Chain A
Amino acid sequence: MTRLRSALRQISRVTAALTGGFALLLLSGCNKVHQVFSLSGPQSTMVTAGPVAERQWDLFMITVYVCTFIFIVVGAVLAYAQIKFRAKSEADEHAAPPAEAGHGNPFVEIGLIAGSVALLVIIAIPTVRDIWYTHDVPEDEKVGAMDVTATGYQWWFKFDYPTEMVKLPSGGEAPLSTGNELVVPAGIPVRVQLRTVDVIHSFWIPKLAGKVDMMPNRGNFLWFKADKPGYYYGQCAEYCGESHAIMKFRVIALSGADYVKWLDNQKKSARTVTAQSLADEANVPHFKFASLKDVGRNSTLSGSPDFDADPFAAWQKMQAPETGESAQLIAAGRKNFSDKTCITCHTVRGHEGIGIAGPELTHVGARSSIAAGVLENTSERLHQWIKDPAYFKPGNKMYHGGYIDVTTGQPKFTLNDAEIDTIVAYLHSLK
């Protein structure tokens, strides 16, 4: 019996060693192990780019220090007890238990409770301080702060600039509106009013600020400040239905001067390309940004190398009209954009588009992403997106309701590759 037990113990030790070894193998076999524990992605909460996210990260690190300290101390005691007080013999395993009376020690217990409370106070003080700091723009910065409104839709974001009015072609004024890419000035606090037209969404730009939900029938808001010009990734963080996982957006922070340039261009009506206008534009200098070189190079990203090498620079490049535009193709695209009923959901200010169910497209050619941050805004991707939106974003309304009648399931129009190419050319001309 004893022999059997010692054999079993031997076997179990070998098993433990083998399993541990397997785990190590798994760890070392994966030559990108540092990437398993990577903290430097485009949505990293560690590589912060503004004071709100920075405060949140610093507070998080305080909790990490305190908790690691607790874990090491308690873990050391636990590990010591496990090793030191092992049963060493058969007799030990059946040792008579000690008397239960008075088992426990009030001084030890009270000491440990007091110690725990003291450690928690270390976390509590900065927590309370930062709750107030992260809640709203600090008093002394309120004067220069800027307001924008972000509205969640299933599954994209609309951004309105309530203080930036644009003249409508039909007369009158309306706030500047754009979709999925929020452009703000760097170095200025931005207060984002959070609204939703349907379910709950959550507005999260990890490098700039923690999330706040867009609650129906509630006036939530958050604030952030981008320290430097740059290109930041954001994403919806509250489950909002079928395509929640791919409801993304971008925030582009520009220097003050660049921001003014960007606003001026956005306030213009849609660019109309004709053979004459192309000839005229060849003589004027293209849209240029002063801060092209000095920012946005902190990314260590995989995939789509051209764009990811420097998304901010790529975005800036998108602001200028493409070379080799064909006025004929663009005109055909503009017609198809009408004929295929795209205009009923999308606004192209100054052109035919008047719909408001989908994102505003007046300057869509100048955006770096499409389909709510899911795809890069290249001709190829835009073509694929228009061809099969349901593939990239299941359940989206452009397909369900736009392309097909939801009650009958029948397509509302036909669309061939050549037609799509014209629409792509048209949309990309809208700088």
Chain B
Amino acid sequence: MAQAIAKSDYTGAAHAPAKPTFGLFARPTTKTGLVSWLTTVDHKRIGMLYGGFAIMFFLIGGLEALMIRTQLIVPNNRFVTAQLYNELFTMHGTTMIFLAVMPLNAAFFNLLVPIQVGARDVAFPRLNSFSLWVWVVGAILLNVGWLSHFSDLFAGFGGAPDVGWFGYSPLTSKQFTPDLSTDFWVLGIQVLGLSSIVASLNFIVTIINMRAPGLTMMRLPVFTWMALVTSFLLILALPAIAIALVEVMFDRNFGTNFFEVSGGGQPILWQHLFWVFGHPEVYILILPPMGYVSEILPTFSRKPLFGYPIVVFSGVAIGFIGFGVWSHHMFTTGLGTIATAAFALATMAIAVPTGVKVFNWIGTLWGGRIVTRVPMMFALGFIWMFMMGGLSGIMHSAAPADAQQQDSYFVIAHFHYVLIGGATFALLAAIHFWFPKFFGRMVPEFWGKLSFWLIFVGFNATFFPMHFLGLNGMPRRTWTYDANMGWNEGNLFATLGAYLLGLGIFTYFAVLVWSFFKGKPAGNDPWDARTLEWSIPSPPPEHNFAAIPTVHARDAWWYEKTHKEEIAMEKAEHIKAEESHGGIHMPDQSWYPILAASGLLVGAYNMAQFRHPLSFFGRTLGFDYGNSADPLHPHHFELGHVHLAMTGLCILVSACYLWSLEGPGGYHIHLDANGNATESRGGYHH
């Protein structure tokens, strides 16, 4: 079971030498500075980069939400134009889903999964780096349109995407959104999907193949289980949207008729393809948060998780049924009676495993000793709020009633209870819980609790009245509303709540920044926790474990704490065995992942506008050659975006090719009796 140690470590055969293919792109060895971060393959550093970018976009998405709420504070408001409002709600949704919650989950996959399975890194470290930078490319493509609001040079972008995060055809066709913003949206989502698929494959292999000795599947921490289920959901769901996006791109640029109404296309097809991805996506967002909560609740209840096998099984069941309920997003599209009934019943069925999870969390609290630290408060807040969001979800499964709620503010209330009250509360719990592990400092309890209460009250004040706005007939995606609709007070109240929520989020992150510099040192195990990450120093060393652990129980670290002698003997043996095979083997940094991603950026950025001539500060670029006097065949070459798009593709392909020639590389770490590390390099073992 000791797959964490490469096979060559046992055979003593040669590692491929870390020879540079190009001097310029030789594998860097520096451990500090910008280059070390750009070329890192360390799962913890990649996790922190994911987390940092994700929090940045979480705050940007929050700012967009506050602008939306400010526009709606009074009827017939003119704070933003209709066009800007549509861009704001499109980008708020897209940002929060693809650029905040998903990468925050990816951050925790990276930070925790290898440590929780007792490994030193993910299965494919360079591929992991590639996922990160490809994600950054996607984030840039989605947001590049904002530039047109700041500079005329980018006026051609036509603003940020404004087709909604769901991009319903035929609104995305060239006829209705002729500007480039939709092209950037299509390619941005496509690129983000690539990043997720690559990362998911990496985590599936890591979780299945790299578990420490004794760590059977039914001993995996629930969070890691949820990471596994989520990864499978991603690789199965994303191809559907990838195909749909390719079809939109072809319709827009190459005259195909997948969704083109005039050519006999079927816009309803987009909705099916989108939601067969989009509904599993909901579980992609919420399953990892269920994992955090399943880690935090037992820790602060001083009790193992109640009904572990059932929690795991219900997570898998949710993932499975999650593929069979997509049309409940389409109850109003004229599905017909049979299909509507089938999807309504399937939707009710998926409530059962979700309810089972809630029951088991309560079972975990039952008979425990509940310590209400900040992460626990967020986790408990999660259960309460997620229950509300789940129950309003059951209301939507009654399709005829949903005909009234669909696309109204009731739906907005519902899914914000799931995605803020659920996913975000759990993420805030997780950030607070694991912050001491990865930064080595504690966050002050008082300020944490203050931010919890601000967020809790602000959140409910914002979204609870929206149930009633929806029942009172207020549709979603509403730039403004008239004063005589009975929506004035509800909107005013929701906006004030949103400001309070914003203040809470600001407090939360301001305290984290303060703690990063000034927090009290955390020690290895500040929460007296259960899983393996708490057995190693805070912050963890690059090799994670001095000795690969042997796992004897589900709560592996609780077991280690009570069986110290047994564990110490095992560890000494592991260290000896590993040193005899050359020491702790670590992967080398590499330039190629970020280089390949930069090729993708150049390619996709120019592909989005490939029909446009390339202009540089208002001038087109080109040159004359041969007999340029001939008016029918002007020998004039004009450089266009299409040429740069091809250049980007070339960079991508050659970077991948050179990456494959780079060899596995790697170096060894040797620990002395005091735990001090020395490194050794070279082709052969000692």
Q: Does B366 contact A (CB under 8 A)?
A: yes
CB distance from A333 to the nearest CB of B (A): 28
**C-beta contact mask, B364-405 vs A, less than 8 Å → 1, else 0?**
011111111000000010011001100110110111111111
Checking A15, A23, A130, A131 against B446 with a beta-carbon cut-off of 8 angstroms, the contacting residue is A15
Instruction: Give the chain B neighbours of A87 by CB distance below 8 A.
Output: 302, 369-372
Among B16-24, B95-103, B235-243, B467-475, the stretch that binds chain A is B467-475
Instruction: Give the chain B neighbours of A93 by CB distance below 8 A.
Output: 302, 369, 371, 528
B168 touches A238 (CB 8 A): yes
A82 touches B391 (CB 8 A): no
Contacts of B153-198 to chain A: CB distance below 8 A: 162, 164, 168, 170-171, 175-176
CB distance from B354 to the nearest CB of A (A): 9
Closest to A212 in B: B332
Checking B359, B388, B473 against A44 with a beta-carbon cut-off of 8 angstroms, the contacting residue is B473
Contacts of B540-568 to chain A: CB distance below 8 A: 553-555, 558, 562
CB distance from A124 to the nearest CB of B (A): 6
Query: Beyond A60-B401, A113-B356, is A301–B380 a contact (Cβ under 8 Å)?
Result: no
A98 touches B481 (CB 8 A): no
A218 touches B334 (CB 8 A): yes
A100 to B175, CA, bound (A): 62
Instruction: Give the chain B neighbours of A40 by CB distance below 8 A.
Output: 472, 486
Instruction: Give the chain A neighbours of B395 by CB distance below 8 A.
Output: 60, 63-64, 67
Contacts of A29-55 to chain B: CB distance below 8 A: 30, 32-33, 35-46, 53, 55
Q: Does A138 contact B (CB under 8 A)?
A: no
Q: Does B358 contact A (CB under 8 A)?
A: yes
B370 touches A131 (CB 8 A): no
Instruction: Give the chain A neighbours of B484 by CB distance below 8 A.
Output: 42, 301-304, 308
A97 touches B362 (CB 8 A): no
Contacts of A241-257 to chain B: CB distance below 8 A: 241-246
CB distance from B410 to the nearest CB of A (A): 9
Query: Beyond A86-B370, A95-B302, is A36–B493 a contact (Cβ under 8 Å)?
Result: yes
CB distance from A42 to the nearest CB of B (A): 6
Query: Beyond A15-B450, A239-B168, A246-B479, is A212–B334 a contact (Cβ under 8 Å)?
Result: yes
Among B49-57, B134-142, B306-314, B608-616, the stretch that binds chain A is B306-314
A123 touches B398 (CB 8 A): yes
Instruction: Give the chain B neighbours of A120 by CB distance below 8 A.
Output: 348-349, 351-352, 394
Query: Beyond A103-B304, A109-B307, is A38–B351 a contact (Cβ under 8 Å)?
Result: no
**C-beta contact mask, B613-636 vs A, less than 8 Å → 1, else 0?**
000000000000000000000000
A85 to B376, CA, bound (A): 14
Closest to B527 in A: A93
Q: Does A429 contact B (CB under 8 A)?
A: no
A123 touches B310 (CB 8 A): no
| Contact count A vs B, C-beta below 8 Å | 370
A133 to B401, CA, bound (A): 12
Checking B398, B449, B461 against A59 with a beta-carbon cut-off of 8 angstroms, the contacting residue is B398
Q: Does B341 contact A (CB under 8 A)?
A: yes
A41 to B486, CA, bound (A): 5
A163 to B86, CA, bound (A): 39
A74 to B303, CA, bound (A): 20
Instruction: Give the chain B neighbours of A124 by CB distance below 8 A.
Output: 344-345, 348
A16 touches B406 (CB 8 A): no
Q: Does A162 contact B (CB under 8 A)?
A: no
A35 to B469, CA, bound (A): 10
Q: Does A211 contact B (CB under 8 A)?
A: yes
Q: Does A377 contact B (CB under 8 A)?
A: no
Contacts of B492-516 to chain A: CB distance below 8 A: 492-493, 496-497
Closest to B562 in A: A96
Instruction: Give the chain A neighbours of B305 by CB distance below 8 A.
Output: 103
CB distance from A66 to the nearest CB of B (A): 8
**C-beta contact mask, B474-485 vs A, less than 8 Å → 1, else 0?**
111111111111
Q: Does A284 contact B (CB under 8 A)?
A: no
Q: Does B261 contact A (CB under 8 A)?
A: yes
Q: Does A293 contact B (CB under 8 A)?
A: no
B83 touches A394 (CB 8 A): yes
Checking B370, B388, B486 against A38 with a beta-carbon cut-off of 8 angstroms, the contacting residue is B486
A127 touches B400 (CB 8 A): yes
**C-beta contact mask, A84-107 vs B, less than 8 Å → 1, else 0?**
011110001111111010011100
A44 to B400, CA, bound (A): 16
CB distance from A306 to the nearest CB of B (A): 11
**C-beta contact mask, B517-538 vs A, less than 8 Å → 1, else 0?**
0000000000010100000000
Query: Beyond A26-B461, A216-B261, A233-B473, is A8–B446 a contact (Cβ under 8 Å)?
Result: yes
Checking B86, B344, B366, B489 against A32 with a beta-carbon cut-off of 8 angstroms, the contacting residue is B489
Closest to A126 in B: B398
Q: Does B81 contact A (CB under 8 A)?
A: yes
B453 touches A15 (CB 8 A): yes
Instruction: Give the chain A neighbours of B171 by CB distance below 8 A.
Output: 199-200, 239-241
Query: Beyond A19-B453, A37-B490, A237-B408, is A206–B473 a contact (Cβ under 8 Å)?
Result: yes
A112 to B388, CA, bound (A): 18
Instruction: Give the chain A neighbours of B370 by CB distance below 8 A.
Output: 81-82, 85-87
Q: Does B539 contact A (CB under 8 A)?
A: no
Query: Beyond A103-B308, A217-B265, is A108–B407 a contact (Cβ under 8 Å)?
Result: no
Q: Does A20 contact B (CB under 8 A)?
A: yes
Q: Does B214 contact A (CB under 8 A)?
A: no
A245 touches B481 (CB 8 A): yes
Q: Does A362 contact B (CB under 8 A)?
A: no
A108 to B409, CA, bound (A): 37
Query: Beyond A41-B487, A202-B332, A246-B480, is A217–B471 a contact (Cβ under 8 Å)?
Result: no
B404 touches A39 (CB 8 A): no
Instruction: Give the chain A neighbours of B460 by CB distance below 8 A.
Output: 23
Q: Does B216 contact A (CB under 8 A)?
A: no
CB distance from A126 to the nearest CB of B (A): 8
Known: A74-B359, A200-B267. 12 other contacts (CB 8 A): A19-B453, A23-B457, A39-B471, A93-B371, A108-B363, A109-B310, A199-B170, A202-B332, A211-B332, A237-B332, A302-B486, A303-B483
A–B pairs, 20, beta carbons within 8 Å: A8-B445, A15-B446, A26-B493, A36-B465, A44-B486, A55-B400, A57-B404, A81-B362, A103-B305, A104-B308, A123-B398, A133-B400, A200-B170, A210-B403, A213-B332, A217-B267, A220-B334, A236-B475, A239-B168, A242-B162
